[in-house]
């Protein structure tokens, strides 16, 4: 009973330490390559739009160039919303109103800065999400190994308890039934208790092979001895 309590205490002590908590995973893709691909495509489109608009501005006195370059720029952009299109038309109807244009340009610069900041956060969150995802995968592997080890330890403890029980019975049998039975039970208890160590040993195949060979040898010897004794037995005529 004391041994059983000691085993339970050790098992509880082994389970008392919990693994370190994982950091919170950001809400984002766990593959940085996806974000990198989108970022590259986005930068390419922005560069082409900016280049086309710049050429159109440089050639403001050449309507054909302006139309062609703005058409190229628009090919990289979605169709304008009706409300934004109405605002732009109202602005173009009064080109002398520099305040309206200055406000639109300032808003565009602020919005671009916000987009760049938000996109940088998306990239950082993606790398962090990938890192935490890898930590989770490693934790799953670690917990799986811990569960397997706990199963092995539980099985080993059962074999140990069974070995002790058989050894106790052998000790009692040694007193009441003689050393032949008691010694056999004591040896069996030791073998039962050592079974998990033998199975987990790197030499298990050699031990198992040697044991089988020894058992086969004993069987062959017993058979040979039995045949020899039968052959050498004195002849006894059948009784009438």
Selected residue with higher pLDDT from 2 and 198:
198
Is 95 inside a domain boundary? yes
Which band of pLDDT confidence, cut at 50, 70 and 90, is reported for residue 54?
very high
Average pLDDT over residues 29-36: 69
Which band of pLDDT confidence, cut at 50, 70 and 90, is reported for residue 29?
low
Selected residue with higher pLDDT from 201 and 75:
75
Average pLDDT over residues 154-163: 79
Cα of 226 vs its chain's centroid, Å: 60
Average pLDDT over residues 93-115: 88
The total number of structural domains that make up the chain: 1
Is 216 inside a domain boundary? no
**Alpha carbon distance 109, 46 (integer Å):** 14
Is 69 inside a domain boundary? yes
Is 181 inside a domain boundary? no
Is 43 inside a domain boundary? yes
Q: Which of 34-38, 94-98, 108-112, 168-172 has the lowest mean pLDDT?
A: 34-38
Selected residue with higher pLDDT from 112 and 20:
112
Which band of pLDDT confidence, cut at 50, 70 and 90, is reported for residue 5?
very low
Is 46 inside a domain boundary? yes
Is 48 inside a domain boundary? yes
- pLDDT for the residue numbered 16: 43
Average pLDDT over residues 140-157: 83
Is 36 inside a domain boundary? yes
- pLDDT for the residue numbered 6: 43
**What is the overall mean pLDDT for the chain?**
77
Domain enclosing residue 83, as ranges: 32-138
- pLDDT for the residue numbered 11: 41
């Amino acid at each position: 009973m004391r041994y059983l309590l000691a085993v339970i205490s050790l098992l509880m002590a082994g389970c008392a330490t919990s693994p370190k908590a994982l950091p919170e995973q950001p809400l984002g893709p766990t593959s940085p390559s996806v974000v990198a691909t989108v970022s590259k495509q986005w930068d390419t489109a922005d560069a082409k739009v900016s280049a086309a608009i710049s050429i159109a501005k440089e050639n403001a006195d050449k309507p054909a160039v302006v139309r062609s370059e703005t058409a190229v720029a628009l090919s990289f952009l979605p169709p304008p919303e009706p409300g934004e299109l109405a605002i732009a038309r109202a602005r173009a109807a009064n080109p002398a109103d520099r305040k309206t244009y200055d406000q639109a340009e300032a808003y565009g610069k602020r919005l671009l800065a916000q987009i760049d900041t938000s996109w940088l956060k998306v990239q950082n969150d993606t790398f962090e999400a990938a890192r935490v995802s890898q930590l989770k995968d490693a934790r799953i592997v670690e917990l799986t190994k811990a569960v397997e080890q706990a199963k092995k330890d539980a099985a080993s403890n059962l074999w140990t308890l069974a070995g002790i029980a058989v050894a106790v019975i052998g000790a009692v049998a040694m007193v009441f039934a003689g050393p032949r039975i008691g010694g056999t039970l004591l040896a069996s208890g030791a073998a039962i208790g050592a079974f998990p160590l033998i199975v987990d040993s790197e030499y298990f195949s050699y031990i198992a092979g040697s044991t089988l060979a020894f058992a086969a040898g004993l069987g062959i010897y017993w058979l040979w001895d039995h045949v020899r004794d039968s052959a050498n037995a004195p002849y006894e005529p059948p009784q009438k």
